[in-house]
Chains A and B, each alone.
Chain A
Amino acid sequence: MAQAAWEKPIAAGANSAADKAREALMSRAGRGAIRRKFLLAGGLILGVVAALIITGTLTGAQYFMTVDALLADPTLVGQSVRISGAVIGETIRVASINPDGEEITTITFTIAHIPDQFASLEQALHDAVYNPDATRLDVYYEGPRPDLLQNEAQAIMTGTLGEDGVFYASELLLKCPSRFQEGGSDPELGQTSAGGL
């Protein structure tokens, strides 16, 4: 039996006569029954995957919002959200705690609100950091100090706002737009070398 099955690659149409005969033999009702079976099986699979996606979406959903929007809505305290803000460099503190033998690095810093719409991310970050009226939010994060955590970086974080008003971040992603800036050439190029800076 097993040996008979090994040479399976069949040329197109090699056993199509047999197939045609079998298909011809099938009554319309028979084909309808097959179709129902396929539809049922397909529906079942779709149902299971849809349920997976829906429950996954409900458990995994994080709202992406600004600092102002987060602080304006008290119902969001304790909920998983994703926020973005400008890192204020001088507030970055790194420490090490040792609760039960396992060493943990903790980072605290403050972010400033960046508005929803802006022309240049770099400018928006700069303005946010040096605007005394921009809303600020303290952040607590356990983990290594990311390479890009520095003044005027954009912090994109997942976490929850605690009742103490501190944002407890579980994920921390940083972007420094100035590094990869596109745009015009530096006006400095216009000066002659002798003129110097």
Chain B
Amino acid sequence: MGIALADIGLAALFLAFAAAIYAVIVSILAAQKHSDAMTISARNAALASFPLMIVSVGALWIALLTEQYQINYVRSTTDPLTPTFYRVTALWGSQEGSLLFWSLIMAGFVAAALVINWKRERRLMPYVIAYSMATLAFFLGLSLIYENPFERVWLVNNPEQGTTEVVDTLLIPPDARPPDADRLQANARGLNPLLRHFGMIIHPPMLYLGFVGFTIPFAFAMAALASGDLSANWIKATRRWTLVAWLFLSLGLILGGRWAYDVLGWGGYWGWDPVENAAFLPWLIGTAFLHSVMIQEKRGMLKVWNMVLIIFTFSAVMFGTFATRSGLIESVHSFARSEIGLPMFVFWSGITLVSVVMLIWRWSQGRLREEHHNTRLLSRESMFVLNNVIFVLLALAIFWGSFGAPILSELLADTEITLGTAYFMQVTPPLFLAMYILMGVAPVTAWGATHVARLGRALLIPAIGVIALLAFLIITGTTQPAALIGYSAVSLAGFVAVYEIFRGTTARMRARNESALQAAIALFTRSRRRYGGYIVHLGITLIGIGVIGSTVFQEQRERTLDIGEVMPVAYGYEMRFDGYASGLFADDGRVMDIAEVTVIRAGRELGTLRPRIDRFPDGMNMTIAGARSTLENDFYVLLWPTGDTTGITFRVYVNPLVNLIWWGGLVLIAGTMISAWPNEAAAVRVRERAAIGAQMRATS
């Protein structure tokens, strides 16, 4: 069974690779020869890679679930004590499986994009297939050659020396037999305990979906450059793909933060770790792209810039994957050092270089001329450009801090210089502040041109909201300048979003005599993109408030307590130590030490928390916080392993407003879904337009 599964998985992986290579070659030929039949053949091969990958990943999944320990990947990520749940997630628990899973997602995305856009964007198709399949073929090649999850262990007799050798191979060697089943079981290592968390179940797939999703707009952009169809078609075709990729990437980042907060036991959710930053870079550039494509659609401007943004979003995805998976950087959650570093580096630099050269080529032909010119500093266009500049500068600053400085210093000065949290906390806040101010100002700025007086009037009511909030904060005792400045900028963005929705609704109510609910529903269905965007802005506002609150006002206490003792904490909280049990066994083999504490505020007992330490059989420990969450703050207590002191030591954090980050994430999902939801009316318009276009082509 195990043998058959590994063979099936390997064969399907190989066939998917062959199909991808075939699709690349035939689609390039199809583009050269303008052959429709060849394009269709390339498409079919591209589509076939998806079911093949389902078979390949399915085989590995079944092997994990049915405990085929002869497969090395299964043995290194699960053991007989692993619960079914984590057998499922073990698929992305280590390098080989997660690469395979990544390829499956990419094959799925490409197949969907080909099917959906096949009729409308026929001219771009050969190039879209070539670019997306080249990327897929590269990742499948990595899986086949360097990180194959189907490698198995065999025992081979060596008759000359009369010994038995342990051999790891993909294909069954002659005269081989599998090792004893109980030996294999005893040798299984189990999933890294840090990955046993609900956030880890969905965080990696979300992040992969986000990363991989950007392949589609990138492939279309490159197809536009290669085919010479440099209208806004590629943008229109991929707008939703970009939004979907962006949504998944955002979710991946937020869930990653949640995982860190729950599992890593340091009271925080973002540590400016290079791997986190690597995932944040494509988000920043992708967000800039998401905004600036609107300018091209509406005004025919920023054509080159949009190409630059999508090229570098994709490049950042590839770089992040390379940096995380190659062992380039020291980080808590980078994959082990691996041989795939060099091929990944070559692919990343190669594809970036080719894209940039293609862009320069079309640019020098004068094919990317602006249809309008920006004539005023104070206009919606300028605000969007400024917003783009801020996002790109943030990305550059973070790239420099996480990778630029360490790599450059190692190359030039033979010593590695790293920039710690201090760097990021100094450089990024002013840029984030500018981002929030623009989020407030840009939506009320008119296209073309506006005047200061007009802008001032449009901002009047939101500004009154900000001032009222500031007055409230100061009266209730918030005096830290950093917090007040931060809250002003962040809340301006939020107030503008709410006010714009309110204004749109009331205007409809007056003009069409609708009820508030009718008007609001109509508003959101008619201009999904715009009002969905405001909801996303609201989500980002909530996240901003949560980040400022939990960064500036976090309180932390540490103390050793005896049973019955009460410890004062902060914000009126007290904590009583009620009991302690150590050496409790769980089903999966871990041993738990659990403390029980009561959270007290203003004399009232609010609840019982059980912070614990899980000790896993392989010697790894995990500190699991006990947390009591309210919208106001989190009471977050950790059992502190201090070794040889008597009594039990606790570390307690009070994290004000931290839950707004997670709630903001939910609002962001809702807003993005509103923006990306297929619009029936728009679809009809597009179909009509396509039909007219086809007629015109036929007659010309």
Q: How far is B643's CA from A145's CA once the two chains are assembled, in angstroms?
A: 8
Bitwise, B400-433 to A at CB < 8 A (1) or not (0) is 1100011000000001111111111011001100
**Given the complex, which residues of A lie within 8 Å of B299, measured CB to CB?**
12
Within 8 A of B (CB), among A175-195: 175-177, 179-182, 184-193
**Given the complex, which residues of A lie within 8 Å of B155, measured CB to CB?**
189-190
Q: Are A173 and B377 in contact (CB-based, < 8 A)?
A: no
Query: Closest CB-CB distance, A20 to chain B, in whole Å?
Result: 8
Query: Closest CB-CB distance, A19 to chain B, in whole Å?
Result: 6
Indicate the member of B155, B168, B418, B620 with the most A CB atoms within 10 Å: B418
Q: Are B427 and A52 in contact (CB-based, < 8 A)?
A: yes
Query: Closest CB-CB distance, B457 to chain A, in whole Å?
Result: 6
Query: Closest CB-CB distance, A183 to chain B, in whole Å?
Result: 9
Q: Are B401 and A60 in contact (CB-based, < 8 A)?
A: yes
**Given the complex, which residues of A lie within 8 Å of B187, measured CB to CB?**
185-186, 188-189
Q: How far is B377's CA from A95's CA once the two chains are assembled, in angstroms?
A: 62
When C-beta atoms are compared, the residue in chain B nearest to A182 turns out to be B336
Within 8 A of B (CB), among A86-135: 92-96, 102-105, 121
Within 8 A of B (CB), among A1-34: 1-3, 5-10, 12, 15-16, 18-19, 22-23, 26, 31, 34
Query: Closest CB-CB distance, B292 to chain A, in whole Å?
Result: 15
Q: Does B374 contact A (CB under 8 A)?
A: yes
Q: Does B527 contact A (CB under 8 A)?
A: yes
**Given the complex, which residues of B lie within 8 Å of A147, measured CB to CB?**
620-623, 641
Q: How far is B586's CA from A151's CA once the two chains are assembled, in angstroms?
A: 26
Q: How far is B645's CA from A92's CA once the two chains are assembled, in angstroms?
A: 14
Q: Are A1 and B457 in contact (CB-based, < 8 A)?
A: yes
Known contacts A52-B426, A191-B183; A63 and B415 CB within 8 A of each other: yes
Q: Are B377 and A65 in contact (CB-based, < 8 A)?
A: no
Known contacts A56-B426, A145-B642, A185-B166; A62 and B649 CB within 8 A of each other: no
Q: Report which of A23, A62, A69, A145 forms a contact with B641, defined as CB distance below 8 A.
A: A145
Q: How far is B448's CA from A18's CA once the two chains are assembled, in angstroms?
A: 10
Known contacts A1-B457, A103-B558, A158-B420; A189 and B179 CB within 8 A of each other: yes
Q: Are A23 and B164 in contact (CB-based, < 8 A)?
A: no
Within 8 A of A (CB), among B58-81: 72, 75-76
Within 8 A of B (CB), among A143-171: 144-145, 147-148, 150, 156, 158, 171
**Given the complex, which residues of A lie within 8 Å of B629, measured CB to CB?**
none
**Given the complex, which residues of B lie within 8 Å of A180, measured CB to CB?**
94, 192, 336
**Given the complex, which residues of A lie within 8 Å of B651, measured CB to CB?**
144
Q: Does B98 contact A (CB under 8 A)?
A: no
**Given the complex, which residues of A lie within 8 Å of B168, measured CB to CB?**
184-185
**Given the complex, which residues of B lie within 8 Å of A42, measured CB to CB?**
389
**Given the complex, which residues of B lie within 8 Å of A136, measured CB to CB?**
none
Q: Are A190 and B179 in contact (CB-based, < 8 A)?
A: yes
**Given the complex, which residues of B lie within 8 Å of A38, measured CB to CB?**
374, 377, 382
Q: How far is B192's CA from A59's CA once the two chains are assembled, in angstroms?
A: 36
Looking at chain A's contact residues, is the secondary structure mostly helix, strand, loop, or mixed?
mixed
Q: Are A45 and B507 in contact (CB-based, < 8 A)?
A: no
Q: Does B679 contact A (CB under 8 A)?
A: no
Q: Does B291 contact A (CB under 8 A)?
A: no
Q: How far is B192's CA from A179's CA once the two chains are assembled, in angstroms?
A: 8
**Given the complex, which residues of A lie within 8 Å of B641, measured CB to CB?**
144-145, 147
Q: Report which of B180, B182, B427 forms a contact with A56, defined as CB distance below 8 A.
A: B427
Q: Report which of B166, B182, B559, B649 forms a contact with A184, defined as CB distance below 8 A.
A: B166
Q: Does B369 contact A (CB under 8 A)?
A: no
Q: Does B184 contact A (CB under 8 A)?
A: yes
Bitwise, A47-72 to B at CB < 8 A (1) or not (0) is 01100110111011111110001000
**Given the complex, which residues of B lie within 8 Å of A52, measured CB to CB?**
397, 426-427, 430-431
When C-beta atoms are compared, the residue in chain B nearest to A1 turns out to be B457
**Given the complex, which residues of A lie within 8 Å of B184, measured CB to CB?**
189
Q: Does B347 contact A (CB under 8 A)?
A: no
How many residues of chain B have a CB within 8 Å of chain A?
A: 88
Q: Are A193 and B182 in contact (CB-based, < 8 A)?
A: yes
Q: Are B560 and A103 in contact (CB-based, < 8 A)?
A: yes
**Given the complex, which residues of A lie within 8 Å of B393, measured CB to CB?**
45-46, 49
Query: Closest CB-CB distance, A36 to chain B, in whole Å?
Result: 11
Q: Report which of A9, A26, A49, A53 forms a contact with B530, defined as CB distance below 8 A.
A: A9
Q: Are B397 and A53 in contact (CB-based, < 8 A)?
A: yes
Q: Does B619 contact A (CB under 8 A)?
A: yes
How many residues of chain A have a CB within 8 Å of chain B?
A: 77
Q: Are A59 and B182 in contact (CB-based, < 8 A)?
A: no
**Given the complex, which residues of B lie within 8 Å of A193, measured CB to CB?**
180, 182-183
Q: Are B621 and A61 in contact (CB-based, < 8 A)?
A: no
**Given the complex, which residues of A lie within 8 Å of B421, measured CB to CB?**
60
Q: Are B372 and A34 in contact (CB-based, < 8 A)?
A: no
Q: Report which of A19, A64, A93 forms a contact with B416, defined as CB distance below 8 A.
A: A64
Q: How far is B389's CA from A38's CA once the two chains are assembled, in angstroms?
A: 12
Q: How far is B183's CA from A187's CA once the two chains are assembled, in angstroms?
A: 11
Query: Closest CB-CB distance, B278 to chain A, in whole Å?
Result: 17
Q: How far is B374's CA from A49's CA once the two chains are assembled, in angstroms?
A: 24
When C-beta atoms are compared, the residue in chain B nearest to A105 turns out to be B642
**Given the complex, which residues of A lie within 8 Å of B444, measured CB to CB?**
5
Q: Are B645 and A62 in contact (CB-based, < 8 A)?
A: no
Query: Closest CB-CB distance, B146 to chain A, in whole Å?
Result: 11
Q: Report which of A22, A62, A182 forms a contact with B420, defined as CB distance below 8 A.
A: A62
Q: Are B559 and A103 in contact (CB-based, < 8 A)?
A: yes
Q: Are A62 and B418 in contact (CB-based, < 8 A)?
A: yes
**Given the complex, which residues of B lie within 8 Å of A49, measured CB to CB?**
393, 397, 431
Known contacts A63-B417, A180-B336, A190-B179; A10 and B166 CB within 8 A of each other: no
Indicate the member of B504, B530, B643 with the most A CB atoms within 10 Å: B643
Q: Are A6 and B503 in contact (CB-based, < 8 A)?
A: yes
Q: Does B687 contact A (CB under 8 A)?
A: no
When C-beta atoms are compared, the residue in chain A nearest to B183 turns out to be A189
**Given the complex, which residues of B lie within 8 Å of A53, measured CB to CB?**
397, 400, 427
Query: Closest CB-CB distance, B684 to chain A, in whole Å?
Result: 16
Q: List 12 A-B contacts (CB under 8 A).
A: A2-B503, A18-B448, A48-B430, A52-B431, A56-B419, A56-B426, A60-B424, A61-B405, A62-B418, A93-B643, A95-B644, A104-B558
Interface residues of B (CB under 8 A from A): 72, 75-76, 94-95, 153, 155, 164-166, 168, 179-180, 182-184, 187, 192, 297-300, 330, 332, 336-338, 372-377, 382, 386, 389, 393, 397, 400-401, 405-406, 415-424, 426-427, 430-431, 444, 446-448, 454, 457-458, 500, 503-504, 507, 527, 530, 557-560, 618-623, 638, 640-645, 649, 651
Q: Using A12-B300, A185-B187, A189-B155 as known contacts, list a sample of 12 further A-B pairs with CB atoms less than 8 Å apart, ordered by residue number in A.
A: A19-B372, A19-B448, A26-B375, A34-B377, A41-B377, A53-B400, A56-B397, A61-B417, A93-B644, A147-B622, A158-B420, A182-B338
**Smallest CB-CB A-B distances: 8 pairs:** A60-B423, A94-B643, A64-B416, A147-B621, A56-B427, A189-B179, A60-B419, A185-B153
Interface residues of A (CB under 8 A from B): 1-3, 5-10, 12, 15-16, 18-19, 22-23, 26, 31, 34, 37-38, 41-42, 45-46, 48-49, 52-53, 55-57, 59-65, 69, 82, 92-96, 102-105, 121, 144-145, 147-148, 150, 156, 158, 171, 173, 175-177, 179-182, 184-193
